[in-house]
Chains A and B, each alone.
Chain A
Amino acid sequence: MRRSPTNDCRIPSALFLLLGATVLLAGCAAGQPDSITEEGDSVRSLYKWVFGLAVLIFLAVEGAILFMAVKFRRRKNDDGSLPPQIHGDNRLEVVWTITPLAIVLVLFVLAYQNINDLQAEVPADEIQALVDQDKALRVDVTGLQWVWQFAYPDFAWQNSEGDMSPVKILGENTNTIPETAGSVPTLRVPLGIPVQFKLHALDVIHSFYIPQTLYKLDAVPGRVNHFEMTFTETGIYNGQCAELCGTSHADMRFRVEVMPADDFFAWAASEQAKGETSALADIAAEEAEEAAEAEAANDDGTGTSANDSSEENTESATEDTSGTETETNPASPGEATSNATDTGSGVEQADQVLSERE
């Protein structure tokens, strides 16, 4: 039952060349994007360690496999005798149990520090003090099908109903137009100071992901997840939902504009002032109306007017959002306008849902 000896090692040798080329190619291209946060830098340096070790192990083991395969191939002049029947070697088994164990323990030490870096946060009692000095910022992120909403609780005003209304940036809800990519909201954040994100989800699980921060965290209904980042590069970056959330999951995009802290706070303060002015105007209008009502003494429309004014608030926030959109998304102005008209009701709906749940 002997087989004819063969000398066919061409395929393994070709594989070796191919793998070499692949590694070279992958080595040049492989890499995460440059990080734009301090936390991301920690991930990036861990990545470099892991990638370096991975390449070494990859080359060593693939090399060993191919070396064995080519070196110990059956030769043409084989006499058909059996090679030495080696059943194993306990010392070797110990060596190649302990070596990988040592490697992963070293990796674990690195990973441990990195996890601590990512999970480090300013203590809750200190953050308020920092926020008051404009040395930190809090952002409420809300995910709902299929849109992101951002709010700055530190920049809020009292609206006509007596509630605190924060500066908001709202995405267009693509719920009403599932097969069209909606335009994207742009979240503004300051450079160089800690930004604390709190993640809320109103319907299903979403995941807040900005690739260049090398971080994502899920927004889970019933939980408020939070994390901190300190941005280190100005610019406009893409973000996207990373947890499947239904039909238009892929359209649940946003942008992040990292701007110098002074510019950011100037902008936020002006938004807050705008909100305050319009709220005061609303209140004044309401008072005037109430006075008129009192004069007429036969009218009962107070509830309606309160509703009207809260809608005006929403609209002013929406207008602001679409203003930023046209700056950053010049690709489809026509579509954006038509979306805006189509989805105006969608945004209001979303905003109402938001306020109801809150």
Chain B
Amino acid sequence: MTTHTFTPDQSPGVGAVRVTRPYRAVFLDWITTTDHKKIGTMYAIAASVFFLIGGILAGIMRIQLAIPENDFVTRDVFNQSFTMHGTIMVFLFLMPMLAALGNWMVPLQVGAADMAYPKVNALAFWMIPLGGTVLLLSYLMPNGPHAGSWVSYPPLADVSESGTAFLPGHGVDLWIGAIAILGISSTLGSINFIVTVYKMRAPGMTMLRVPIFTWTVIVQSFLAIFSLPVVTAGLAMLWISRNLGGRFFDPSAGGDPILYQHIFWYFGHPEVYILVLPVMGVVSEIIPVFSRKPLFGYKAFIFATLSIAALGTMVWAHHMFTTGAIQVHFFAFTSFLISVPTGVKMFNWTATMYKGKIEFTSAMLFALGFLMMFLIGGITGVFNATGGLDFSLHDTYFVVSHFHYVLVSAALFGLFAGFYYWFPKMSGRMLNETVGKVQFVLLFLGVNFTFLPQMLVGLDGMPRRIPTYTEEEGWGLGNLISSYGYILIALAAILFLLNVLLSMRRGKISGDNPWDAYALEWATSSPPPYYNFDRLPLIRSERPVFDENHPEAVATGDH
């Protein structure tokens, strides 16, 4: 393939002549870069740092809850911990990590040299550490960070009639600022993705030949543009209420606390799909490649993705059934409907494996793990969607378990799958497969040990967001098992980190296309040169690299 000897922007990898540059030059290069691959890498590094912080906060909660009436931390510290855990994991780990994969892969998958707006791309990235810093600075404030949970319902997050804050200090204000910054960052990133795909696709790549991962990033971006500005506006109202006497949510001044909940969940539910859709895309890249078959029902899959996004904007009030201010029947119905396109996806993934020749690489195992865990997340969602059952399950550990099955399967199984699959493309080296399999087993056990007992104590009535519970309630055993499960998840995460750090330098050299994969990113060298492509293959289907490498299949029309 490419025989480049020296390029000024070369990342350390195969085929490159290592040129030692002064640290200052390297540093300046990274902080001023507009290269989508370097920005992608920086997104991944930032997200990993925040993942460790969010994970430590989860550890604090698991220690506190491991035994009844524990006093490992105070109630305030506990409340701050779950607030920050939720915020960090959603806004500073999952979204940036998906942006990392999107940045790396979307231009490569559509055959572009970079994103449409490289400088906007850099700006969007640098707002992540900025937002994270603003959020974490609240730990230095007199009353510590926000303790009103990531939903921050007024009046709790607001001020009382007399103007005193229910949560003292400026934790909430910094939190609002951070979410606004991070929301704008994601909106900018989303616009960039959409323009890149619409305007910069390689010749021959029609919209129905765009790889599934890129499709899901597009749909995700539209959802983000529809929903993030809404929550930013809602949080601006909250900030005005807190600091300038806005009283939007104060019933004594004609406001309504339920209004905030509508605004928040109008963003909050699409947010779930913002986090999950690209991961579905990752899995839809991996399962076909390791089954040696095309994705079953490519068009059906795109249609299902669009349906999920459309329905996803119509279900928000199922988070508010117990407010007594909701037409329960309607939102139960729309929530039920979402399981239909999700089911279609599940069946398409399963059918993709039919008559395949499945190879159990780490990436494939994690992808299968995603299917299996996401199914649990989806089925438990139906319980909540019924409306009637939600009156008993809402705000209990059942819900905590439900959305962790959804988001952890996305965050950990799906993203690990993606990194095992694309690490060779990013670095030119393989991640260690043995470590990957050990890590998979640890994670699979860990997730189920952590979240299955939570489901059971939740059914038994344990409310979420409580720092303690009494012994007579009988939730001790479930919580203890759950806390042990946390250790397994933490071990799996640490193993992954070690695997990445060691493999970057010492991993097996991968070659350009170690998996014999299909999409356009595998047509260039690994790692790609800064301009991405020396040449492009003919694009006559959604699998151009497969078509080029397997002329026999194309010749028989069997492609």
Chain A residues with CB under 8 Å of B460's CB are 32-33, 211
13 further A-B contacts with Cβ under 8 Å, apart from A12-B368, A19-B372, A244-B156, are A3-B516, A6-B360, A43-B389, A54-B380, A74-B359, A85-B294, A87-B294, A178-B75, A217-B322, A222-B251, A246-B156, A246-B166, A250-B469
Pick the contact of A15 from B359, B372, B463 — CB < 8 Å?
B372
Chain B residues with Cβ below 8 Å from A58 are 375-376, 379
> Across the interface, do B257 and A107 meet the contact criterion of CB distance under 8 Å?
no
Report yes or no: A104 in contact with B375, Cβ–Cβ below 8 A: no
B469 contact set on A, CB distance < 8 A: 250
Tell me the complex Cα distance, A87–B325, Å: 47
| Residue of A78, A181, A212, A221 with most chain B CB atoms under a 10 A cut-off | A221
Given the complex of chains A and B, what is the CA–CA distance between A248 and B468 in angstroms?
Answer: 10
A-B interface contact total, Cβ < 8 Å: 300
B251:A221 contact, CB within 8 angstroms: yes
**Residues of B in contact with A (beta carbons under 8 Å apart):** 69, 74-76, 79, 147-149, 153, 155-156, 160, 166-167, 251-252, 255-258, 291-294, 296-300, 322-325, 328-329, 332-333, 336-337, 339-340, 343-344, 346-351, 353-360, 365, 368, 371-372, 375-376, 379-380, 382-383, 385-389, 391-392, 394-396, 437, 440-441, 444-445, 448, 452, 455-456, 459-461, 463, 465-470, 473, 511, 513-514, 516, 549-550, 552-553, 558-559
A90 to B301, CA, bound (A): 12
B392 & A29 in contact (Cβ 8 Å cutoff): no
Number of interface residues of A (CB under 8 A): 104
Interface CB pairs A-B, < 8 A, 14: A2-B516, A12-B360, A58-B379, A65-B349, A72-B291, A72-B356, A83-B293, A104-B336, A115-B388, A181-B69, A211-B392, A216-B322, A220-B257, A240-B463
- The main secondary structure of chain B at its interface with chain A is helix
The interface centre, meaning the residue of A8, A93, A215 with most chain B CB atoms within 10 A of its CB, is: A93
Q: Known contacts being A11-B441, A97-B340, A209-B463, is A218 close to B324, with CB within 8 Å?
A: yes
Provide the residues of chain B in CB contact with A223, threshold 8 Å: 251, 258, 324-325
The CA-CA distance from A33 to B292 in the complex, in Å, is 48
A1 to B512 Cα, complex, angstroms? 10
Question: Given known contacts A61-B350, A97-B340, is B355 in contact with A204 (CB within 8 Å)?
Answer: no
What A residues does B355 contact at CB under 8 A? 72, 83-84, 86
Give A188 Cβ to nearest chain B Cβ, in Å: 20
* A345 to B: closest C-beta gap in Å: 19
- A159 vs B321: C-alpha distance when bound (angstroms): 39
Complex CA gap A222/B252 in Å reads 7
Q: Is the CB of A86 within 8 A of B75?
A: no
Q: Which of B343, B368, B466 contacts A249 (CB 8 A)?
A: B466
- CB <8 Å contact, A61 and B389: no
Residues from chain A with Cβ under 8 Å of B153 in the complex:
204-205, 243-244
- For residue B178, give the distance in angstroms from its CB to the closest CB of chain A: 20
| Chain B residue nearest to A244 in the complex (CB) | B465
Q: Tell me, yes or no, whether A69 is within 8 Å of chain B by CB.
A: yes
Identify which of residues 72-114 in chain A touch chain B, using a CB-to-CB cut-off of 8 Å: 72-75, 78, 82-90, 92-93, 96-97, 99-101, 104-105, 107-108, 110-112, 114
